[in-house]
Structure 1
Amino acid sequence: MLSDDELVRMLRTRDPHPDLSETDPDSPVADRILARVRERTRRRRKRTMVVAPVVALAVVGGTAGTYAWVAGDGDGHTLDSSGPTCVGSEHADAVTGFDPIADDPIRVCRQLWQDTFGRPAPKTLTACVDSSAQGSIQVYPGGRDQCARHRADPYLGPTREQLNLAHFRTDVRERFAERDCVSYPEFRNVISELLAKHRLTGWSAGHFQTADEEPEGPCAQIVYFDEPEQKIWLGDAKAGDPIHVPWTSP
C-alpha cells in the first residue's frame, strides 16, 4: 500500500517528459488531484488483501488459514496504464511513463536503468502487477518468481480499453497541438467526441473541485486520468502555455 508520501512522489514524478505547461506540483490543482486520489485509495483499500479459504486443520485453540492477494484486475492487467515503476533496489525506484500501444515496461526500464541507478540493467527483468490499491506495474530484477515474492502477478499486457485510452490521449494531444488556450466547453466537446470515437463507454470528464467549489478559468487542460473510476479530470491551464496531456509519450 502506498503511503501519502509515496503517493505524492508518484504523482509528481509520473510524467517522464515534463514540460513547462505541466501543473505546478504546489498549485491548488495539484492539491485537488492528490486529495481526490487519496479519497479513491481509501475507498479501495479493502480490495488489497483477501482471505482465501482452505481445508481446515484441527489444531488446539486455533483455526488454520492462509492469505491470498488481488493484483490489478486479477487477470494480469494493471489498473493504471500510465507507466511502470522500475524497482532498482529495496530503497530506490524510478516511476516512468510509457505508451502501452508501442512500449513494453521491461524495455522502458532497461533503457533508463543505467542513467537512473548508475549500473547496467540486470540480465533479467520481470514486469508484475502489484496488489496495491492502484494495481500498478512494477518491474523487478529477476525472473517471474519475483512477482509472487512481492505479492504480485505477472503483467500480461494492456486491456483493450487501455489501448483505446492510449489512442484517445494521442488524439487529444494532436487536436490541441497548436493551441495555447482551450475553454472548458470546447475541451469537453472534444473529449466527448473522442471518447465515442475510441469506444470508451462509461468515461466522462469533470472539473476538479474541493469542498470549496471554484469557478472554471478561461483555459482548461487534462490534469489526471482516473482509470478505475473512468474519469478524466480537468483543471485550469495558463493562457499562453501549450496544452498538456499528462503521462503520454511525445
Structure 2
Amino acid sequence: MLSDDELDRMLRASDPGPGGSVTDPDSPTAARILARVRRRARQRHKRILVLAPVVALSVFGATAGTYAWVAGDGKGHTLDSTGLTCVGPDQGDAVVDFDPATEDPVRKCRQQWQEMFGEPAPEALTACVDSSQQGSVAVYAGGRDQCGRHRADPYLGPTKEQLHLALFRTDIKAHFTERTCVTYPEFRKAVVQLLAKHDLTGWSSGHFQTADKEPEGDCAEISYYDEPDRTIWLGDHEAGTPINWP
C-alpha cells in the first residue's frame, strides 16, 4: 500500500481535468481527490476496516450556535456520501463502506464496533459531518456535544441528490455485472443514460489522467465520485480483472 507521502506525490503529478492545466495540489478539489484515493487504498489493503491514529481537535472560543469551521455543506450534509469513519477508542478509528440509501451510520458502526475495536459499542453514538475538505461522516462515542468538540456538525442524513446518486451507483454496478473490460465509449454511454434515469441534473463524466495527457486505455472503470463538482471520474482498468467499484 502506498504511504501518504507517496500518495501526495502521485496527486501532485495528476490532472483530473480535461483541459491543459494541472490541478492546483492545494485546491479543495485536489484535497478531496487525495482523501478519496487514501480511503480507497486503505480499503483495498483490508476489506473491512483500517486502523489509523486518532487526532483529537480542540475547539477554542466557540459558543452555542457559533462555529469556527465549515463542516460538509454547512447544513448537516456530507460532501462524500459514502465516506464513513467509526471513531473508536485510543488505538484508532475505522473507515468502513457505507450506503446512504440503505444504511444508517450509527447503526453501521454499532454493528461492527465489537469486531473493529474488541469491545462492546458505547451506549451512545452520534453521527457528525467533519470539517475536513472531503466532509465525511464520522461516528463518535457520546452525545451530540461530541460534534462540536471535534469541529463537526450533527449529521442530518443524505440529501435527495445523494439518495439518487446511491441508486445510480447500484445501477451502474448491476449494468456491468461480471464484466472485466468495458470500453470508455460504452462506459460513458451507460453513465449518461443512468444519470438521466436518476435525475442527476448537472452531473457529467471525465477522464482522470496524468499531467502527460496519456491516451485512454482499452478498458475503463470509475475512479471516484466528486460530489461537490458533480463529476464522475473514469480511469483505466486492467483487462481481465474485476472492476473495483468505489
Shorter-chain TM band = 0.7 to 0.9
Cα–Cα, structure 1 residues 118 and 8, in superposed 2: closer, same or farther, change >3 Å? farther
What is the root-mean-square deviation of aligned Cα atoms in Å? 3.2
In structure 2, distance between residues paired with 1:233 and 1:42: 12
Q: Letter of the aligned partner of 1:109 in structure 2?
A: C
Cα–Cα, structure 1 residues 101 and 140, in superposed 2: closer, same or farther, change >3 Å? same
In structure 2, distance between residues paired with 1:147 and 1:242: 38
5+ long unaligned stretches in structure 1: 10-27, 46-51, 55-65
Cα–Cα, structure 1 residues 67 and 145, in superposed 2: closer, same or farther, change >3 Å? closer
User: 1:25 maps to which residue?
Assistant: none
In structure 2, distance between residues paired with 1:178 and 1:74: 39
Deviation at 1:103, TM superposition (A): 0.2
Cα–Cα, structure 1 residues 148 and 224, in superposed 2: closer, same or farther, change >3 Å? same
Report the TM-score when normalising by structure 1: 0.74
Alignment of 1:29-178 (within 5 A): 32=14, 39-41=26-28, 68-89=68-89, 92-178=92-178
In structure 2, distance between residues paired with 1:90 and 1:230: 36
User: 1:5 maps to which residue?
Assistant: 4
Q: Letter of the aligned partner of 2:82 in structure 1?
A: S
Would the aligned equivalents of 1:172 and 1:245 in 2 still touch at CA under 8 Å? Answer: no
In structure 2, distance between residues paired with 1:37 and 1:114: 41
Deviation at 1:169, TM superposition (A): 0.4
In structure 2, distance between residues paired with 1:6 and 1:125: 33
Cα deviation, 1:102-138, whole Å, max 9, x if unaligned, reads 1001111111211111111111100001112211111
Aligned residues: 207
Q: Letter of the aligned partner of 2:204 in structure 1?
A: S
Would the aligned equivalents of 1:182 and 1:220 in 2 still touch at CA under 8 Å? Answer: yes
Higher mean C-alpha deviation, range 89-98 or range 101-110: 89-98
Deviation at 1:78, TM superposition (A): 0.5
Pair 1:180-2:167 in alignment:
no
Q: Letter of the aligned partner of 2:142 in structure 1?
A: G
Cα deviation, 1:62-100, whole Å, max 9, x if unaligned, reads xxxx86221111111001101311100355111112111
In structure 2, distance between residues paired with 1:140 and 1:36: 34
In structure 2, distance between residues paired with 1:135 and 1:233: 19
Report the TM-score when normalising by structure 2: 0.75
In structure 2, distance between residues paired with 1:6 and 1:76: 31
Higher mean C-alpha deviation, range 235-244 or range 125-134: 235-244
User: 1:199 maps to which residue?
Assistant: 199
Deviation at 1:40, TM superposition (A): 4.1
User: 1:17 maps to which residue?
Assistant: none
In structure 2, distance between residues paired with 1:190 and 1:8: 30
Cα–Cα, structure 1 residues 126 and 67, in superposed 2: closer, same or farther, change >3 Å? closer
In structure 1, distance between residues paired with 2:198 and 2:123: 38
In structure 2, distance between residues paired with 1:230 and 1:156: 21
Of structures 1 and 2, the larger Rg is shown by 1
